[in-house]
Structure 1
Amino acid sequence: MLVSIVYMSRAVEEFDDAAMTALLREARLHNEALGVSGLLVAKGGRFMQLLEGPAWSVDDRFSVIAKDPRHHEVTSLLREDIESRRFDGWSMAYRGLDDDDLAAEAGFSPFLSGTTDFPRSFDRTSAAWLLKWFRDRELHDV
């Protein structure tokens, strides 16, 4: 059985580009090893992430994430059973990067710029609505 979790959290300290790149690389290694895919969106000192994969893997990743001292106020917003994955790989959008940086770092996505949208099969789901809500709101730094 595949599940999807969407959660939101707040960074304890500001993440610069180097810290975001390091976070992405670390998370990709763990997620790939456990068969977890999804999308991480970072903006204004806040994170929203969708994790998907086998229930035990997603639960394991979320448990580790919830204990990570780099952020707090970890709040699960949505958990649902899914029939198939909606993301082929794990990617992250980050508002502070320019297009050259986005193209150079595997896993980054221009989702926050509003130029990328979701596939039609995912676009009308609750998870897609939450991610778009996050993208379209002005959030303030930590």
Structure 2
Amino acid sequence: MTAIDPLVSLVYCSSATHPFSEQELAELLAVSRARNSAHDITGMLLYRGGEFVQILEGARSDVEALMEKIGRDPRHRDVRVLLEEPLHERRFEEWTMGYQSLVAAEQGMKSGYRDSFDDLRMGDHDMIGRAIMELTLWFRVRESAV
């Protein structure tokens, strides 16, 4: 990355225009991973109940170009950038698109379990930052256990 095209992290959420099956998610991931690898974009994708949260890392121009595509993608609606910040180093360097499907909360789950992305749409920058850091840590711990 250069000073002209710095490394950034961008987090967005969106709603699917229809519920994605496991097969549709697998196809989306295969295409996304190939495209991201070609553009040196890394990150993670979370999906639950028709809602996406994604973290993208890469050169600002590449991440912005990808966001333009996502914004035009007919499978998404209500695309919102939640957070964009400069990065000194990648948090998802080893993943062109790490993925986790979140399940609905079950009775008896520990308190603090995130069973919704609704709070991310509220617009409180500090709360969004904390939630993204929690999701990032949760994702990395689950991936390292696989």
Identity %: 33
> CA separation in 2, counterparts of 1:42 and 1:9?
10
Q: Normalised by the size of structure 2, how large is the TM-score? A: 0.67
State the match for 2:131 in structure 1: 129
State the match for 2:78 in structure 1: 73
What RMSD in Å do the two structures reach over aligned CA positions? 2.4
Residues paired across the two proteins, number: 108
Q: Which residue of 76, 83, 102 maps to 1:95?
A: 102
Unaligned runs of 5+ in 1: 97-111, 114-125, 136-142
Give the superposition deviation at 1:128.
6.0
Q: Secondary structure at the match of 2:12?
A: strand
Q: Which amino acid aligns with 1:94?
A: S
Q: Secondary structure at the match of 2:19?
A: coil
Give the superposition deviation at 1:49.
0.3
Q: Secondary structure at the match of 2:36?
A: helix
Assess, with a 3 A threshold, how the Cα gap between structure 1 residues 131 and 83 changes in structure 2: closer, same or farther. Answer: closer
Which structure's CA Rg is the greater one? 2
Q: Normalised by the size of structure 1, how large is the TM-score? A: 0.69
Q: Does structure 2 conserve the Cα–Cα contact (< 8 Å) formed by 1:41 and 1:93?
A: yes
Q: Which amino acid aligns with 1:83?
A: H
- Following superposition, which runs of at least 4 residues in structure 1 exceed 3 angstroms of deviation? none
Q: Does 1:6 align with 2:43?
A: no
State the match for 1:123 in structure 2: none
> CA separation in 1, counterparts of 2:130 and 2:20?
24
Q: Which amino acid aligns with 2:132?
A: L
Q: Which amino acid aligns with 1:59?
A: E
> CA separation in 2, counterparts of 1:14 and 1:68?
15
Q: Does structure 2 conserve the Cα–Cα contact (< 8 Å) formed by 1:6 and 1:127?
A: no
